[in-house]
Amino acid sequence: MPGPRVWGKYPCRSPHSTDCPGAMWWLLLWGVLQACPTRGSLLLAQELPQQLTSPGYPEPYRKGQESSTDIKAPEGFAVSLIFQDFDLEPSQDCAGDSVTISGSGSDPSQFCGQQGSPLGRPPGQREFISSGRSLRLTFRTQPSSENRTAHLHKGFLALYQTVAVNYSQPISEASRGSEAINAPGDNPAKVQNHCQEPYYQAAAAGALTCATPGTWKDRQDGEEVLQCMPVCGRPVTPIAQNQTTLGSSRAKLGNFPWQAFTSIHGRGGGALLGDRWILTAAHTIYPKDSVSLRKNQSVNVFLGHTAIDEMLKLGNHPVHRVVVHPDYRQNESHNFSGDIALLELQHSIPLGPNVLPVCLPDNETLYRSGLLGYVSGFGMEMGWLTTELKYSRLPVASREACNAWLQKRQRPEVFSDNMFCVGDETQRPSVCQGDSGSVYVVWDDHAHHWVATGIVSWGIGCGEGYDFYTKVLSYVDWIKGVMNGKN
């Protein structure tokens, strides 16, 4: 279930004002703009979405008021805002009740109710991103001589958060990714700084050509633009690879910054790809041998910590779309082929030391027998559900050894070429229920980053022999196709 939301303080501009009694207590409790109709407030955007509503929402708003809210992002980030609910009284050309979104260096955008009539201009589901660090939302309602009880419009509910900085666009519907501008004569290193190293790096946005040294030209419209791309597989606090500890160890904050904790039909895991996707196992979404599954099952995703209670405090990342590989067959209990899925989040996640994506594999050498890798997760340990992220160092096993192990036990499970196995019969494997969907990572010596080669898929009990993983390399083209909108 979603974690508790941390409400912020939204005081009146003058906290000692006597014309707004009780505002500080009221705003702290509800975390929304309330009372003081002509006052302003300042909100500090955070990594996870927070709510901003019109006064009194979801109750009908009062007529004859005006309030402004300034939303500010940390240095190096911008503000993203999207309306979840928008119900204002219709008016011609927004001459009546309206919401105006503005920011430095860009023209204001005004929106108002429509409700099936040609009047008004609602914002729809567009995502607005500030051109700088701040964005202002102004809510105005016209005075009315009518009985207030006859006014049934409830106002708006919006979500705001920080996103990677975008210097090239005014406030507008957001494009995916972040961009940094490199004006003629600029030092390319300056662009790199805009991309918040070491979490992002500057890269050519789309089809670009290098017109002059240090200047990038877009072939379509001539804009000089670079795009800030997430850096994958390079934790700020990497694990010590020379350790020889057997069994599981407790992860330190930042060791596995791609680790996701999921709650769908139970606890599971996943890994962050880019800044908007979670790689996981299909069976965490459609479990095998499930008789009755609820439709519209909630999919909850948490990131950013090694302790579950702290993850819950940070809050759930809403999921926009779930994509399960077409080869996955839920009704075939002994066949985990195609056990891979992608979760597209509603909002891009600002990256940092505790939230970074993992890389995808690109060659078979990452699966050679004996290669040591790490699997992390929040699964059961010694019969108990853990509250802390654990990890184990285990070798890739040979297919011959795993096939012989399955045959000896006369197991019916399918061990296809799109799977591989991990472990050693001489030591107790550490993967168990609750780890499904988490990834097995190895260090790529050539690319100098961590690669998710496998997804925890299936095994025979806990602590018995080998564990079996979805081979990510077999599905890289499908993954990229989904993420690029081609599948």
Q: How far apart are alpha carbons 276 and 348 in whole angstroms?
A: 5
Q: How far apart are alpha carbons 76 and 190 in whole angstroms?
A: 12
Give pLDDT, residue 320.
Answer: 93
pLDDT band at 136 (very low <50, low <70, confident <90, very high): very high
Do 290 and 388 fall within a single domain? yes
Q: How far apart are alpha carbons 43 and 31 in whole angstroms?
A: 10
pLDDT band at 28 (very low <50, low <70, confident <90, very high): very low
CATH code (residue 29): 2.60.120.290
Cα distances (angstroms) measured from residue 467 to each of 52, 63, 459: 46, 63, 5
171 has pLDDT over 90: no
Give the residue among 5, 35, 33 at the shortest CA–CA distance from 22: 35
Do 413 and 475 fall within a single domain? yes
Task: Render pLDDT for 154-170 as a digit per residue (tens, 0 to 9).
Answer: 899 888 888 876 443 44
Catalytically active residues are: 283, 339, 436
Q: How many CA atoms lie within 13 A of 462 on its CB side?
A: 15
Average pLDDT, the chain: 78
Select, from the ranges 139-153, 288-302, 417-431, the one with the highest average predicted confidence (pLDDT).
417-431
What mean pLDDT is predicted for residues 95-118? 80
Do 217 and 272 fall within a single domain? no
Q: Which residue has the higher pLDDT, 270 or 296?
A: 270
Task: Render pLDDT for 342-384 as a digit per residue (tens, 0 to 9).
Answer: 999 999 998 999 999 999 999 999 999 999 999 999 987 766 7
The DSSP code for 292 is -
Alpha-carbon dihedral of residues 54, 60, 63, 65, nearest 10 degrees? -20
Do 336 and 371 fall within a single domain? yes
Q: Are 421 and 367 spatial neighbours (Cβ–Cβ below 8 Å)?
A: no
The verdict on residue 9 lying in a domain is: no
Secondary structure (DSSP) of 40-98: EEEEE--SS-EEEE-TTTTSPPPSS-EEEEEEE--TTEEEEEEEEEEE--B-GGG-SSE
Secondary structure (DSSP) of 306-358: SBHHHHHHH----EEEEEE-TT--TT-TT--TT--EEEEESS----BTTB-PP
Do 224 and 271 fall within a single domain? no
Do 259 and 399 fall within a single domain? yes
pLDDT band at 429 (very low <50, low <70, confident <90, very high): low
Choice among 86-90, 113-117, 374-378, 394-398 with the minimum mean pLDDT? 113-117
What mean pLDDT is predicted for residues 429-443? 87
Does the pTM surpass 0.85? The reply is no
273 has pLDDT over 90: yes
Choice among 312-326, 354-368, 390-404, 451-465 with the minimum mean pLDDT? 451-465
Q: Are 89 and 140 spatial neighbours (Cβ–Cβ below 8 Å)?
A: no
Q: How many CA atoms lie within 13 A of 219 on its CB side?
A: 7
Q: What percentage of the chain reaches a pLDDT higher than 90?
A: 43
Domain total in the chain = 3
| Domain C-terminal end among 186, 202, 230 | 230
Give pLDDT, residue 116.
Answer: 59
Do 287 and 391 fall within a single domain? yes
Reading the block at residue 100, the tokens are: 């105006």
Q: How many CB atoms lie within 10 A of CB 95?
A: 12
Q: Which residue has the higher pLDDT, 22 or 47?
A: 47
Q: How far is CA 251 from the centre of its chain?
A: 21
Q: How far is CA 224 from the centre of its chain?
A: 28
Do 215 and 254 fall within a single domain? no
Q: How far apart are alpha carbons 475 and 482 in whole angstroms?
A: 11
Q: Are 300 and 474 spatial neighbours (Cβ–Cβ below 8 Å)?
A: no
Give pLDDT, residue 9.
Answer: 27
Do 337 and 213 fall within a single domain? no
The verdict on residue 12 lying in a domain is: no
The verdict on residue 172 lying in a domain is: no
Q: Are 98 and 135 spatial neighbours (Cβ–Cβ below 8 Å)?
A: no
Give the residue among 211, 210, 215 at the shortest CA–CA distance from 188: 215
The verdict on residue 235 lying in a domain is: no
The verdict on residue 240 lying in a domain is: no
Do 285 and 262 fall within a single domain? yes
Give pLDDT, residue 225.
Answer: 55
The verdict on residue 477 lying in a domain is: yes
Choice among 183-187, 281-285, 419-423, 452-456 with the minimum mean pLDDT? 183-187
| Domain C-terminal end among 164, 196, 214 | 164
Give pLDDT, residue 342.
Answer: 98
Cβ partners under 8 Å of residue 474, min gap 6: 417, 418
Q: How far apart are alpha carbons 163 and 223 in whole angstroms?
A: 22
Task: Render pLDDT for 289-324 as a digit per residue (tens, 0 to 9).
Answer: 765 455 557 899 999 999 999 999 999 999 999 999
The verdict on residue 97 lying in a domain is: yes
Give pLDDT, residue 125.
Answer: 66
What mean pLDDT is predicted for residues 415-438? 84
Do 334 and 475 fall within a single domain? yes
Give pLDDT, residue 292.
Answer: 46
Task: Render pLDDT for 40-95 as a digit per residue (tens, 0 to 9).
Answer: 788 988 877 788 999 988 888 888 889 999 999 887 788 888 888 888 888 877 88
Give pLDDT, residue 99.
Answer: 93
Q: Which residue has the higher pLDDT, 130 or 357?
A: 357
Q: How far apart are alpha carbons 387 and 379 in whole angstroms?
A: 9
| Domain C-terminal end among 164, 198, 220 | 164
Cα distances (angstroms) measured from residue 222 to each of 185, 208, 218, 228: 16, 9, 5, 18
Beta-bridge mates of residue 475: none
Q: How far apart are alpha carbons 189 and 255 in whole angstroms?
A: 28
257 has pLDDT over 90: yes
What mean pLDDT is predicted for residues 210-237? 61
Give pLDDT, residue 205.
Answer: 54
The verdict on residue 430 lying in a domain is: yes
CATH code (residue 468): 2.40.10.10
Do 198 and 268 fall within a single domain? no
Give pLDDT, residue 182.
Answer: 37
Domain that holds residue 192: 177-230
Cα distances (angstroms) measured from residue 162 to each of 32, 73, 202: 18, 6, 19
